Structure 1
Amino acid sequence: MSKDFYTQFILPYAGIIIKICRAYTDNEEDFQDYYQEVCLQLWKSRDNFKGDSKWSTWVYRISLNVSLSLLRKDKKLNKKKVELPEVETSSKQDSDPFNNEALKLLYQAIKQLPETDRAIILLYLDEKSYQEIAEIIGLSANNIGVKITRIKKKLKTLLDGKIY
């Protein structure tokens, strides 16, 4: 992958990739693996991008597909992880999204959703329009609206009383 491709086509959209990869991983190591795989797949599929949609839509699609594929692969392997105790290393922890308690609770709740619902709510939280979400997911905009309402209710139920 060339440095130019990375700085022009990946770095400006890193926020998208990070949000999606984070929603499908439980630790920093897996997050890094997912992030790298998304970047690699974006580079490999760059010639398939026809420009019919925005590049950000393409990034969302690739990120979601890669994350879902890796998640399914991990489930098939029934991967067992050994969780190491957390050790405070610096004041950087306050800005680390893996250490923000409210975000941890939100992502825990999102991870309990079915895969498609998880993708939809991530796009919604990223302030994508129903039409944009529909294009990325492959459903109608009306269907997306109904699903978002249901997902919000489910998340409210899951989070009720957990975030102060």
Structure 2
Amino acid sequence: MNNISEKEFLERMEANRGILIKVSRLYMDSREDQEDLIQEIVLRLWTNYQQFEGKSSFSTWMYRVAVNTAITFLRKEKRQPILVTETENLQELKADDHASEQAQQMKIFYKAVQYLNSIEKALIFYFMEGLSHREIGAQLGITENNARVKLSRTKEKLQQLIKQLGYES
């Protein structure tokens, strides 16, 4: 690639870096694994950048590449989420008394997300990004109605997981 393309790519990456952070937190539990996944996504984005035709926005293309890379990364590494043991409870998740309530809620949320399968994580990610059911379906290659049903079931499952982790709203 020439320097202009590289500069453009880096600018677009910087403008959309939140996508990398969200996908890595949804798919990986530890900071080290999150960083590994981010590197894998960036590499995939860079190697496929010449094929980006601009038919969709860069962020839409980035979503698709990031989620697909995360799913492939999980399968390739055969990683499983670390399950909460009997001794690990909400107190351990809330160990930092100085953390804000919102930060504690996010920590519990991301812990619960680790129990979802790859497709459920993608559904939650796209929902968090504000995509419509139609857009979610298009990203995942399923119908709008199927996206609606799967998302509803996934949100219910996530609520149950959060409840099991001991969070009481």
TM-score normalized by the length of structure 1: 0.78
SS at 1:113's partner residue? coil
Q: Is the 8 A contact 1:105 1:163 kept in 2?
A: no
Cα shift readout 1:9-32 (whole Å, capped 9, x = no counterpart): 211111111101111111111111
Detail structure 1 runs of 4+ shifted over 3 Å in the superposition. Answer: none
Pick from 5, 23, 44: which aligns with 2:47? Answer: 44
Pair 1:151-2:154 in alignment: yes
1:94 is displaced (CA, Å) by 5.1
Residue in 2 that maps onto 1:142: 145
After superposition, the CA RMSD in angstroms is 2.5
Q: Distance in 2 between matches of 1:102 and 1:46?
A: 36
- Displacement of 1:101 in angstroms is 2.5
Are the counterparts in 1 of residues 25 and 34 from structure 2 also a CA contact under 8 Å? yes
- Give unmatched runs, 5+ long, in structure 1: 81-92
Displacement of 1:153 after TM fit?
Answer: 1.2
Structure 2, unaligned runs of 5 or more: 83-97
Query: Is 1:56 aligned to residue 59 of structure 2?
Result: yes
Distance of aligned partners of 1:163 and 1:37 in 2 relative to their CA distance in 1, 3 Å threshold: farther
Query: What number of residue pairs does the alignment pair up?
Result: 147
Which of 17, 24, 27 is 1:24 aligned to? 27
Q: What's 2:167 paired with?
A: 162
Q: Which residue of the partner structure matches residue 77 of structure 2?
A: 74
Distance 2:29 2:157 in 1: 21
Point out the more displaced range, 14-23 or 49-58: 49-58
Give the structure 2 partner of residue 117 of structure 1: 120
> 1:57 is aligned with what amino acid?
T
Instruction: Decide which moves more: 67-76 or 112-121.
Output: 67-76
**CA distance in 2 between partners of 1:5 and 1:44 (Å):** 14
TM-score (norm 2): 0.76
Give 1:129's match in structure 2, choosing from 129, 132, 143. 132
- The offset of 1:156, in angstroms, is 1.5
Query: How much identity, in percent, do the aligned residues show?
Result: 34
The 3-state SS of whatever aligns with 1:142 is helix
